Amino acid sequence: MIEKKLNYQTIPELAESIRKGELSSVQLVEHCFSRIETLDQKLNAFHLVRKESAMEQARAADQALQDGNDPGMLHGIPYAAKDLFDVKGLPTAAGLSLLDQSIAAADANAIQRLSKAGMILVGKTNTVQFAFSGVGINHDHGTPHNPWSREHVLPGGSSSGSGVAVAAGMVPMALGTDTGGSVRVPSSLCGTSGLKTTVGRISRAGVYPLSWTLDSVGMLTHTVEDAALIYQCLQGADVNDEITLGLAPQDVLIKLKEGISGMRLAFAESVFFEDLHPEVEAAVRECGKVFEDLGADVSSIEFPEAQEALQVNPGIMIIAAEGYLLNKKWLEEHFDELDPVVAQRMILGKEVTAGEYVQTCYTARQLRAKAGNALKNIDLLLVPTAPVPAQPVAEVDTTLENYLEQNARYLRHTCIGNVLNMCGLSIPCGFTKDGLPIGLMIYGKPFQEDVVLRAGYAFQQATDWHQRVPDLSWLANK
């Protein structure tokens, strides 16, 4: 059991095995490191691992259970964190070799919460420099290899390493961040479940910032239930991130399994269904039948606010402007040492005027209210996460112009939710004839993660797409 079966077990399954005495936390963590050592030389999901401290924590977790101290289901479960999260004593490199020696003085709030719940951090995953890309390419630390293809195809970004680590069964969960799609795009391309939370739900304190307006913390997991368990742990007020204050936590577990009979779901037409890969559209449209069989009311609506969200933030102006200010030192003093694609994109934020920035932020706030009114009779939207499956890295990374075009294409659907501050869940809903995952995105209104997770859970109980795993024998034999 402590080999093949463990690779893709869910958090509740692992927790049950630990409490039955069939498995120890030490054995589980050792298994994760063994798998990382076997696979990651090729997959490049991890930037660093922390074996000694993780094993020490695992031994302590086992002893705690023996002593009758059980903090809950997450206790003794290993995980990874995108290399934007501060971990005391470890560098937070944010995808840059320049920051490989930037040692964090304290844990990020998310790391603190997971540690308190008894989870064990095994390492930090690779990301795009400054987390500023939807395709997942990093010309400095290297681009993680999507495990669904022998050919090096896009892992999605910027939580690229997190997506690959979970998809390859190296960890049951990995933290990510989402500013324009950075949890949902890798979830879609790597075939995992990925939750983008509403800004304000989870503290960003101790997370390397890209945009104080749009940054959110999320997670990539094997199942929606796993994501709900992690979300339940991470949400809550934090004085070090004032946007979380004054918002009561929600219990997303209490109704997670109650079904979706009577829910009003709609395919959001127009921009979400333009220029799609035909297999992506077919798979996503088929999801409507699944939800109808589950008792939901499924319709199609026009949602022009989606196109307006793309227009209100041209060239992702908000992210570029804020990202430039946050990383001004590196862009001005070390431009030639940065990933040329990321640097050339982010430096454009220098040209954004105060008037343009303020007007964009103001217009976005107005648009959020408009979108809320448009969706007053709809509970959830159904759209493709990414318009196309994962393409070969070599085909995307040819010229700056092609990179920018494809990057915008992969982020087209996800960035809309960031501008409108919606929550969103990407889950597997099919595969192409070439065996590449296709993601369905379930969009919810701001702060309605409970509704999004409930619908995603119901879908996964009725389908088996999330249970399919990549054949990695070609890697293990190398």
Active site residues: 82, 158, 182
Please state, in angstroms and rounded to a whole number, the distance separating the CA atoms of residues 278 and 432: 10
Task: Identify whether the C-beta of residue 185 lies closer than 8 Å to the C-beta of residue 208.
Answer: no
Please name the residue that has the structure tokens 């070969």: 392
Instruction: List the structure tokens of 443.
Output: 């969009």
Task: Identify whether the C-beta of residue 152 lies closer than 8 Å to the C-beta of residue 394.
Answer: yes
Choose among 361, 351, 330, 360: nearest CA to 132. Answer: 330
What does the angle CA 129 – CA 133 – CA 135 come to, to the nearest 5 degrees?
A: 120
Cα 360 to Cα 72, 131, 357, 419, 420: the distances in Å are 44, 22, 5, 10, 12
Cα 308 to Cα 3, 269, 275, 363, 416: the distances in Å are 50, 13, 18, 10, 9
Parallel/antiparallel/unpaired status of strands 264-268 and 297-301 = parallel
What does the angle CA 351 – CA 324 – CA 94 come to, to the nearest 5 degrees?
A: 155
Indicate the residue type of 242. E
Cα 377 to Cα 157, 197, 263, 317, 445: the distances in Å are 33, 22, 10, 31, 11
3-state secondary structure of 248: coil
Task: Identify whether the C-beta of residue 80 lies closer than 8 Å to the C-beta of residue 47.
Answer: no
Please state, in angstroms and rounded to a whole number, the distance separating the CA atoms of residues 249 and 309: 28
Indicate the residue type of 442. I
Measured between its terminal Cα atoms, the distance across the chain in Å is: 23
Cα 262 to Cα 54, 140, 294: the distances in Å are 45, 49, 9
Instruction: List the structure tokens of 27.
Output: 């054995």
Task: Identify whether the C-beta of residue 74 lies closer than 8 Å to the C-beta of residue 229.
Answer: yes
Task: Identify whether the C-beta of residue 83 lies closer than 8 Å to the C-beta of residue 190.
Answer: no
